[in-house]
Amino acid sequence: MRIFITAGAFIAALSFVSGPAMAAMCGPSGDVVAVANRTVYNWNATVGKGRLKIDKTYIMSIAILGTYAEVNLDFPQGPIFQFWIKKSGNWTYAGQQAPKGWPASIATKLDKMSGETSTGGKQCINPNWKNRSSSG
């Protein structure tokens, strides 16, 4: 009986350890993975082409609300934001600022989620993020 109780406590402890990493970035896991992959690809293929190549450890946070997403990339010079929209089932890059025409409530919520991240909150942090900012 003691073995079952110990084993049960161990399994429960493991579920708490793996739980935050699974839920660390905000949004459905399939969308989080897709946005992360697209962010890295987009940066390496366009913005960082010929210069800095990034991987997913540069992604500080991802916040997804429905068909809208905000990604916070961390660099020594400071954060860079990327906004994404899901069109016809695919995530499409929308710019470094929330585009005009986005619902104000969505933009505000995404900004709040990113703001909580930048002020030390853990709501949408990427569990694999490596801090590269000069301030941290």
Tens digit of each residue's pLDDT (9 = 90 or more) over 75-127: 888 888 999 999 999 999 999 988 888 888 998 888 777 766 666 666 788 88
Q: Which two tokens stand for residue 31?
A: 């969308």
Asked whether 1 and 102 are in contact (CB, 8 A), the reply is no
Which amino acid is located at 87 in the chain?
Answer: K
| Average pLDDT value for residue range 1-8 | 46
Instruction: Find, among 24, 60, 67, 22, the residue nearest to 39 by Cα.
Output: 60
Asked whether 25 and 124 are in contact (CB, 8 A), the reply is yes
Q: What is the structure's pLDDT at 30?
A: 94
Q: What is the structure's pLDDT at 36?
A: 95
pTM above 0.85, yes or no: no
Count the Cβ atoms, other than its own, within 10 Å of residue 23: 14
Residues paired with residue 71 on neighbouring β-strands, in sequence order: 62, 82
Rounded to the nearest integer, the mean pLDDT of the chain is 78
Q: What is the structure's pLDDT at 124?
A: 84
